[in-house]
């Protein structure tokens, strides 16, 4: 399935935020950069106290009420916006490599996760991911990129995959279909950034049409 078909079911019609206070790294020290307004990429050279909300999971609505019900895209943490840029989960659904979700953990993103939440269980086997901040080659290399990824279906481990370290949209097909209401990617390791340790993902689509599409 091409990217247009993937995106057909992920039109961005509304955004909400859900905070969960009991996450493991809630309250950790992570800062906003003290940078001039023309800096347009995640950057943490001079740390100040970050907002508590940066360390709580956030969910954005991908589809309010579509053929496959209500769908949300969530992330374990979100780097606070800066210089007019935001790093929210919904950036992974906008077909724009110049935007990205960026995590807010005080490390290279190991243990962070992104997750689709469906209204009811979906059967799926294929997803696409553009690993890293693919705005341009320099930004991509300056920030951390996902390497090894553990896949979970409703909190049950499925398998581990390794992503290439490039700016392309990578298609991943699981060894067998899974059925899940919660489909999660957890980052086990990262390609290190040349300047900063923030881990980013530019795009993330799941193919729910393959097994769930029904003609009227």
pLDDT digits (tens, 9 = 90+) for 22-49: 333 322 323 333 333 333 344 443 334 4
The answer to whether residue 115 sits within a structural domain is: yes
Residue 94 domain-assigned (yes or no): yes
CATH assignment of the domain containing 194: 2.60.120.260
Residue-number span of the structural domain to which 160 is assigned = 3-18+52-212
- What is the pLDDT, as a whole number, of residue 39? 34
Instruction: Kindly state whether residue 148 falls inside one of the protein's structural domains.
Output: yes
Specify if 47 maps to a domain. no
Q: Is residue 139 part of a domain?
A: yes
Burial class (CB in 10 A: 0-12, 13-18, 19+), 4: exposed
Lowest mean pLDDT: which of 3-7, 79-83, 97-101, 122-126?
3-7
Residue 30 is assigned to a structural domain of this protein: no
Q: Is residue 125 part of a domain?
A: yes
Taking a C-beta distance cutoff of 8 angstroms, is the pair 209, 152 a contact? Answer: no
**pLDDT bracket for residue 173 (50, 70, 90):** very high
Domain count, the chain: 1
CA distance 184 to 199: 16
Q: How far apart are CA 179 and CA 110, in angstroms?
A: 26
Instruction: Check pLDDT > 80 for residue 189.
Output: yes
Domain assignment present for 39: no
Assigned token pair, 83: 């210089």
């Amino acid at each position: 399935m091409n990217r247009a078909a993937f995106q057909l079911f992920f039109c961005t019609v509304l955004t909400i935020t859900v905070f969960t206070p009991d996450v493991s790294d809630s309250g950790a020290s992570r800062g906003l950069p003290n940078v001039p307004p023309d800096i347009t990429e995640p950057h943490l050279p001079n740390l100040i106290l970050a907002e508590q909300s940066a360390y709580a999971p956030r969910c954005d609505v991908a589809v309010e009420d579509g053929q496959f019900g209500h769908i949300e895209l969530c992330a374990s943490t979100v780097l606070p916006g800066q210089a007019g840029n935001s790093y929210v989960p919904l950036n992974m659904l906008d077909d724009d490599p110049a935007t990205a979700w960026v995590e807010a953990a005080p490390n290279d993103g190991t243990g962070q996760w992104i997750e689709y939440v469906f209204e009811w269980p979906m059967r799926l086997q294929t997803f696409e991911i553009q690993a890293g901040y693919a705005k341009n080659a320099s930004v991509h290399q300056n920030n951390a990129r996902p390497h090894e990824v553990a896949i979970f279906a409703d909190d049950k481990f499925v398998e581990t995959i390794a992503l290439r370290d490039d700016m392309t949209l990578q298609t991943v097909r699981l060894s067998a279909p899974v059925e899940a209401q919660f489909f999660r990617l957890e980052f086990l390791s990262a390609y290190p950034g040349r300047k900063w340790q923030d881990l980013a993902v530019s795009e993330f689509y799941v193919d729910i049409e393959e097994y769930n599409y029904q003609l009227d």
